[in-house]
Structure formats: C-alpha cells, structure tokens
C-alpha cells in the first residue's frame, strides 16, 4: 500500500518540478554574468507560490514515506 502511495507521490513530484519556472536557466547565467537579479529577493505570487508550496509538501511526503518504508524492512 505504501509503495503505491510512494509511486504516486513520486510521479506528482516529477510533474510539479517540471512545471516550475526556469530558475535553473537563470542560475546558468551566473557564469556569463547575464543575470544580475538572480539573488535579489523576489516574492512569488499566484500560481508560482502554489506550485512552490505543492513541491514542498510532495517532497516532505516523499521523504516521510521513504523513511517509513525503510524502517519497516
């Protein structure tokens, strides 16, 4: 039962991470110096905030379920 839940959480986590905005492409511009606003504090709003919160929840669920499954064996 927990294995099935872990599989579902894993797929959802992969999907939600793929939906996030291009923060990784911004980080790649550090080397070329193309983005001076990368480390400035920017507030997420709307859908971005929702996706970030869902990512945190799914990540925590993934870790907790993985630890439970490890301790059961």
pLDDT single digits (tens) 22-64? 665 555 555 666 555 555 666 778 888 899 999 999 999 999 9
Q: Any idea where the domains of the chain sit in the sequence?
A: 1-16+46-73
Label residues 11-32 b or e (16+ Cβ within 10 Å = b).
ebbeebeeeeeeeeeeeeeeee
pLDDT of residue 73: 81
pLDDT single digits (tens) 8-21? 999 999 999 998 87
Q: List Cβ neighbours of 58 (8 Å cut-off, separation of 6 or more).
A: 9, 12, 13, 16
Rounded to two decimals, what is the model's pTM? 0.72
Chain position carrying tokens 């797929």: 11
**Helix, strand, coil distribution of the chain in percent, nearest 5:** 75, 0, 25
């Amino acid at each position: 039962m927990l294995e099935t839940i872990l599989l579902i959480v894993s797929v959802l986590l992969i999907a939600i991470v793929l939906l996030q905005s291009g923060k990784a492409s911004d980080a790649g511009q550090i080397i070329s110096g193309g983005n001076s606003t990368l480390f400035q504090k920017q507030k997420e709003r709307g859908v971005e905030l929702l996706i970030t919160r869902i990512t945190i929840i799914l990540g925590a669920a993934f870790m907790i379920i993985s630890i439970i499954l490890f301790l059961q064996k």
